[in-house]
Structure 1
Amino acid sequence: MNALISSDETWLLWAFLVGWAAVSIYLEQRFEWASKLSGAIIALLGAMLLANFGILPVEAPVYDAVWAYVVPLSIPLLLFQTNIRRVWQESGRLLLIFLISTVGTVAGSIAAFFLLKDLIPGLPHIAAMITGSYTGGGVNFAALASRFDVPGETVSSAVVADNFLMAVYFFVLISIPAIGFIRKRFATPHMDEMDGSDETDDTAAASYWKRKEISLSDIAMAVGTSFVIVAVSFKLAEVFRGLIPEDGNAFMVILRGIVGDDYLMLTTLTLLLVSIVPRYFERINGAQEIGTFLIYIFFVVIGVPASIPLILQNAPLILVFAAIVVFINMLISFSVGRLFRFDLEEIILASNANIGGPTTAAAMAISRGWTKLVGPILIVGTLGYIIGNYIGTALGLWFSSAM
């Protein structure tokens, strides 16, 4: 599908991504309706609409650059003010609900496979890729596509369905806190804290993101430190991946997945530095604001691949398969979460970390002002990178034998 703006129009695409992120933030802080909808949804919907009306291309190197550079840079910035003790306290609860949500993904994949196995060619391998993706994000999708040597056209169709469902589900999850019927049935301590701190006539977003003193030195130290942490973290992860064999025993594979993962190393190193030299990071103003703006650019990119014409053309039944998996994940996450009295924010982020990965879950936490959960969900969400490959491989082999 040819778009009005071609994929090689680098400056025009950057102008849209950054400009629309800025507009989304402005609307969120200026108007009550936009604050309730959230800037993240505005950013995502705007991109989705323009992609579906043929204005924006659904693939472009600029989008890849956001995933490769903008998102990693945002993570340290958002963790500079993190309370390490609180991270570990919150991680235990989030880990449990994350694993419950993972059970939902597995149950959904099994149900969807036996419903559709006679209708979709190559479904065992498609199911493996989507199961891995919906256990921890797109990193697992790529790994399992390589593991089962899936044909390129099948991978492309599954990617379109995967991305579309992720964008739609992101929209659903981020809208849930505004639904009174659901909110009344769950504990919502993080939302209650934000509501209690809003004592002005501003929108909730404007009240949370109040103007603060910031200097050139703050900007320099925030951005410079983030670049250094990302570079060192990714290099360390690369070194460990090179030292630990990919085809070793189970322990070595797990160890490689932990110390060789870029985002887990990035999160761990940042939290370690913040705990060792807390006063250095406490003195930096504006890091959270800069990191949040970068995350809003990421929100725009999430909405772009959700192309309905491509879905209808290439992968309608794969979309049905993915939708069943997402629906059962959501059903189990929220029903079991309510049964065991998990907070609504924890359930939303755990399910998001399953379907979209730790970066989308952290982005959602930031956009809603649940800053105390950003560090914990990043840590817990990266577990999906490890277990997702095992779960996807196991189901892929089982489904292949069932055909």
Structure 2
Amino acid sequence: MPDQPLYVLAMLCLSVLICEYLVRTTFLKHLSTALLVILFVALLANLGIVPSASQGSVVYNGIFAYLAPLSIFFLLLDVNLASVRRAGKPMLILFGVGIIGTVVGVLTGMYLIDGPAQFGDLYPAISGMFVGTYTGGSVNFNAVAIHYNMMEEGVLYAGMTAVDNIITALWMVVTLLVPTLFRRGLKKAPTLAAAQVVEEEHSERDKELVSVFSLSILLSLGLFSLLISNLLAEWLATMGITIPSILILTTIALLLAQIPAFHQLPGGHVLGLFSVYLFLAVIGAYCEFAALSQIGDLAWRLLVLVLTIVLMHGLFTFGAAAVGKLDWDVAAVASQANIGGSSSALALAKSLNRMDLYLPGILVGALGNGVGTYLGFLIAGWLA
């Protein structure tokens, strides 16, 4: 029975449900649903409740081939690039400086741990994944991983995710402390009414109602876009031009997201998030405990790498704020938008009681989702 496709898919969906419930209602709320899903399904796979990597499943192959890219497409429909200018110049400048710091951090970290020797052929992909995720969030991390088949490296992928989650959580503490310790001058008066509107809109995205009409449009758009991306990538390859199909899909999603009728469709965020969790569940199934010895010393090397990335990023971001005498709160929120994405930026703005930074944080986080995939592929291609 464990090898029956319907059973496997049902267990993956049930695993997402259990993990989401645990994160919402227990002490495990300090973990993300994403990390918990990986760990939970890894346990199931090693107990033989669901197929492991060595056993394989057509369900796993289907999720990698279709659902994972679709999750990227659905989540990117949230990105309205035209509204980014509302974030303001200081926020955009610090966000851009943070991206530069991230790239420098990845290159420095890989040098320190001798990345090419440690990761071998995976070195360019891992570099691109970390550049992507610390430009605007995990959407970019997964996009690069899908193209380079990193999901087949279950143990390593899980290790990267775990280290990423740990350091991201610690960076939230850092961005809370830095403004408190170094803040200068008076804060700008929070715009309460505008902030409440932004918060309500952001909250509604997590609870949006999906109609048959909007669901039909989203699925049709996603499936046709994925088909076009694959066909176009194959056609370009015959002409000697190699462009990852996921990059073409990203471009299509971003173009559609600029059209209000598509950008405002309810359900895309929920579809994308659930698809990401199923994708990560399969990553968990690929984590065979017997293979843990394979990661060995790579565990602490990954820790050194990620620490170097975020520290270099922080040095650039907060250094620019100090040199330019910019608002420390703005720098902190911009940094969180880089490291954790829109949700982390919003959470930090709330914690700092800077309601005027709600919208700018969300907007630059969305910008990071838009450009992070391109930058991740650029770095990976350059290092290949």
TM-score bucket of the superposed structures, by smaller chain: 0.5 to 0.7
Which segment is superposed worse, 59-68 or 219-228? 59-68
Query: What residue number does 2:266 align with?
Result: 285
Q: Does residue 1:134 correspond to 2:126, yes or no?
A: yes
Q: 1:16 to 1:308 in 2, by over 3 A?
A: same
Query: What residue number does 2:276 align with?
Result: 295
Deviation at 1:210, TM superposition (A): 6.1
Q: What is the alpha-carbon distance in structure 1 between the residues aligned to residue 147 and residue 233 of structure 2?
A: 17
The one of 286, 295, 304 equivalent to 1:324 is 304
Deviation at 1:218, TM superposition (A): 1.6
Please give the root-mean-square deviation of Cα atoms over the aligned residues, in Å: 4.5
The 8 Å contact of residues 206 and 270 in structure 2, kept in 1 or not, is answered as no
Q: Does residue 1:47 correspond to 2:41, yes or no?
A: yes
Could you tell me which runs of 5 or more consecutive residues in structure 1 were left unpaired when the two chains were aligned: 114-122, 146-154, 246-255, 353-360, 394-403
The 8 Å contact of residues 47 and 303 in structure 1, kept in 2 or not, is answered as yes
Deviation at 1:240, TM superposition (A): 2.3
Q: What is the alpha-carbon distance in structure 1 between the residues aligned to residue 163 and residue 209 of structure 2?
A: 37
Aligned AA (1:287): G
Q: What is the alpha-carbon distance in structure 1 between the residues aligned to residue 347 and residue 275 of structure 2?
A: 11
Aligned AA (1:338): F
Q: What is the alpha-carbon distance in structure 2 between the residues aligned to residue 389 and residue 109 of structure 1?
A: 15
The 8 Å contact of residues 69 and 143 in structure 2, kept in 1 or not, is answered as no
Aligned AA (2:272): G
Which segment is superposed worse, 35-44 or 66-75? 35-44
Q: Does residue 1:184 correspond to 2:185, yes or no?
A: no
The 8 Å contact of residues 130 and 322 in structure 1, kept in 2 or not, is answered as no
Q: 1:50 to 1:134 in 2, by over 3 A?
A: same
The alignment-based identity, stated in percent, is: 19
Q: Does residue 1:66 correspond to 2:63, yes or no?
A: yes
Q: 1:43-77 deviations in whole A, cap 9, x for unaligned? A: 23323443455655441343343232112112232
Q: What is the alpha-carbon distance in structure 2 between the residues aligned to residue 198 and residue 46 of structure 1?
A: 37
Deviation at 1:377, TM superposition (A): 2.4
The 8 Å contact of residues 98 and 351 in structure 1, kept in 2 or not, is answered as no
Q: What are the equivalent positions in structure 2 for 1:98-117 lying under 5 Å apart?
A: 98-113=99-114
Q: 1:128 to 1:330 in 2, by over 3 A?
A: farther
Query: What secondary structure is seen at the aligned counterpart in 2 of 1:44?
Result: helix
Q: 1:228 to 1:362 in 2, by over 3 A?
A: farther
Q: 1:214 to 1:323 in 2, by over 3 A?
A: closer
Which segment is superposed worse, 131-140 or 216-225? 131-140
With normalisation by structure 1, the TM-score equals: 0.65
Q: 1:82 to 1:389 in 2, by over 3 A?
A: closer
The 8 Å contact of residues 87 and 376 in structure 1, kept in 2 or not, is answered as no
The 8 Å contact of residues 41 and 174 in structure 1, kept in 2 or not, is answered as no
Q: 1:363 to 1:294 in 2, by over 3 A?
A: farther
Deviation at 1:216, TM superposition (A): 1.4
Deviation at 1:135, TM superposition (A): 1.7
Query: What residue number does 1:84 align with?
Result: 81
The 8 Å contact of residues 162 and 322 in structure 1, kept in 2 or not, is answered as no
Q: Does residue 1:230 correspond to 2:211, yes or no?
A: no
Deviation at 1:225, TM superposition (A): 1.5
The 8 Å contact of residues 40 and 367 in structure 1, kept in 2 or not, is answered as no
Query: What residue number does 1:148 align with?
Result: none
Query: What secondary structure is seen at the aligned counterpart in 2 of 1:340?
Result: helix
Query: What residue number does 2:13 align with?
Result: 18
The 8 Å contact of residues 78 and 287 in structure 1, kept in 2 or not, is answered as yes
Query: What residue number does 1:119 align with?
Result: none
Query: What residue number does 1:311 align with?
Result: 292
Q: 1:339 to 1:34 in 2, by over 3 A?
A: same
Q: What is the alpha-carbon distance in structure 2 between the residues aligned to residue 70 and residue 270 of structure 1?
A: 15
Q: 1:233-287 deviations in whole A, cap 9, x for unaligned? A: 2322332233235xxxxxxxxxx4xxx1222211212222333x42x32563222
With normalisation by structure 2, the TM-score equals: 0.68
Query: What secondary structure is seen at the aligned counterpart in 2 of 1:98?
Result: helix
Q: What is the alpha-carbon distance in structure 2 between the residues aligned to residue 77 and residue 376 of structure 1?
A: 16
